[in-house]
Structure 1
Amino acid sequence: MTIKRLETDLYPPIKNMLEQQGFLVKGEIKQCDVMAVRAEQMLVVELKTTLNLTLVLQAVERLALTDYVYIAVPADCAPIKKQQKSIVKLLRRLGLGLIVVAFVGEQTYVETMVSPGDYQPRKNHGKVKMALNEFHQRQGDPEQGGANNSSKKMTVYRQRMIRLALYLESHGATKAAQVAEGVDEPKAGAMLANNLYGWFERVSKGIYQLSKQGCVEINQWR
C-alpha cells in the first residue's frame, strides 16, 4: 500500500541533512519552502510530493535569490521512477539541484542526486552530423512540422528509395548496376537487396523489379 506523503514530511530529514553540513535552516521564509544559510552562502529548497512543471518553475524563480536552488521530492514519486535520467538532464541544464527522500519504515534516507550550478552539455557529434546530413540531403520540405507518424514520414532514405522504385516502374526488371547508374545512386544494389519497405523483389541474381506492394505504395508517395 502506497502511503500518501505530505510536503511537510520532507522537511525534517532535509533540515537534518543541511544542519549536519553546518547550515542554519528555517522553513517558509517569504515564498521559499526551505532556506538555509551558512556564512555568506544561501541555499533554497522547494518541496513537493511529486515532480512537475509547477515545481520546476518555482525553483527557477528562486534562482533570483541564490545560485543554490534544489527541488526535493519523495524517492518513490512516479516521475523519478519512470523518467529519472531525463529529469536529471533537465535540471542540470537549468542549473537546479535535486534531492530525493526515501521513506523506509520509520527511517528516512536523503540523497542529493544533482547539485546546482552551471552545466554545459557535451554535444553528440555523431547525432549532429546525422541531423545535418538529413537536413541538407532531403529534397524540398515535404514534411509539416509536428507530424508524429514516423512510419509515414518522408526522409532522405525514402526519397532515394522512391527514385529506385520509379525507375523500376518505368523500366521493368533491371540489373541493380543499371538502376544505380540510371538514378545516380551508388548504393542502389544494397538498397534493393535490403528492401526495407518491401517495394522490390529479386527476379534473378542482381536483377530486381517492383513488388505488388511497391506498385501500390509508390503511388502514395508519387
Structure 2
Amino acid sequence: MAVKRPETDLYLPVKHMLEQQGFTVKGEVKQCDIFALKEQGDQGDALSLVVELKTTVNLTLILQAVERMAVADNVYIAVPADCAPIKKQQKSIVKLVRRLGIGLIVVAFVGQQTFVETVASPGDYQPRKNLKKSRLILNEFHQRDGDPEVGGAASRGKKMTVYRQRCINVARYLAQAGATKASVVALEVDDPKARYLLSTNVYKWFERVSQGVYQLSAHGHEELQLWLS
C-alpha cells in the first residue's frame, strides 16, 4: 500500500540529484516547485530547468508542466514511484510525457533511503508507428460495410466487425438456400473467404452436413435474427 506523502518529501531527493549534475537548485521560484540553472561554456549561457512536484500523476500536473515549458529550457514532473498511475500505467505515462517533450522523474522511498530515477528526458520525440496495428485498423475501416457501431460504446460485448458482417452474409444465404457446397456459397455471396468462414465456424453458426457442404445451425438462425433485427 502506498504511503501518502506531502510533495515536500520529493524536494530534497530531486534537488540532490540535480546538484550532482551541476545544477544550482532553488525551491518555489515564481510558482515553480523547483527551478534550477546550470552554467554552460564561457559565454555566460545557462541551461534552465523546472521540476513540478506532485504526489500522483494527473491532468493538473501535466497542464502545469506544459505551462512551465514557456519559461524553461527543460521541464520535468516528479512523483513517488509507488503512486497508483506509475505502478499501473508507467509505460503509457512515459509515452505521453515524451510526446509532450516533458521529462519524468520518479522517487522511491525504501526505509530511510530514497532512490531517484529519471525515467524520461525532455526533448523532441517521434513515436514509431506500429505498422501492423495501423494496417489492421485501416483494413477494418475500408472493409466494414457502412457504419454499424456507435462510437463510445462499451468495449465489451459483441461488435459488428468486418468478420461478423461476412458471417452474416453467409448465414443469410444459407437461411434461404439451405445446405449448400462451400464453393457455391463463396460464389453466391461474392466472398472468397466464405469457405474459410464456414470451416472455422468461430461463432458456431454453421453445421457441416457432408464433405464441403454446410447449413445454418439452430444457434445460427437465432443469432442471425438478432443481428438483423
| Residue 32 (structure 2) pairs with residue 32 (structure 1) | yes
Q: Which stretch has the larger CA shift, 12-21 or 147-156?
A: 147-156
Q: Which stretch has the larger CA shift, 65-74 or 7-16?
A: 65-74
1:123–1:2 CA distance, 2 compared to 1 (3 A): closer
Contact 1:67 1:116 in 2 (8 A): no
Report the count of equivalent residues: 222
Deviations 1:54-98 (A, max 9, x none): 111111111111241000011111111111111111111111100
| Residue 12 (structure 2) pairs with residue 12 (structure 1) | yes
- Match 1:194 to one of 183, 200, 216: 200
| Residue 53 (structure 2) pairs with residue 47 (structure 1) | yes
| Residue 210 (structure 2) pairs with residue 204 (structure 1) | yes
Equivalences for 1:90-169 in 2 at 5 Å? 90-169=96-175
SS in structure 2 opposite 1:18? helix
Contact 2:2 2:83 in 1 (8 A): no
Identity percentage over the alignment? 69
Distance of 1:107 and 1:148 partners within structure 2: 44
Residue 142 of structure 1 and its aligned partner are, at CA, apart by 1.4
Deviations 1:138-195 (A, max 9, x none): 1111112112245322111111111100010010011111111111111211111111
Instruction: For 1:91, give the aligned amino acid.
Output: V
Partner residue, 2:69:
63
Partner residue, 1:219:
225
Contact 1:50 1:77 in 2 (8 A): yes
Partner residue, 2:43:
none
Residue 206 of structure 1 and its aligned partner are, at CA, apart by 1.2
Distance of 2:205 and 2:155 partners within structure 1: 20
Unpaired segments ≥5 residues, structure 1: none
**TM-score, scaled to structure 2:** 0.93
SS in structure 2 opposite 1:60? helix
Residue 2 of structure 1 and its aligned partner are, at CA, apart by 4.4
Unpaired segments ≥5 residues, structure 2: 40-45
Contact 1:23 1:36 in 2 (8 A): yes
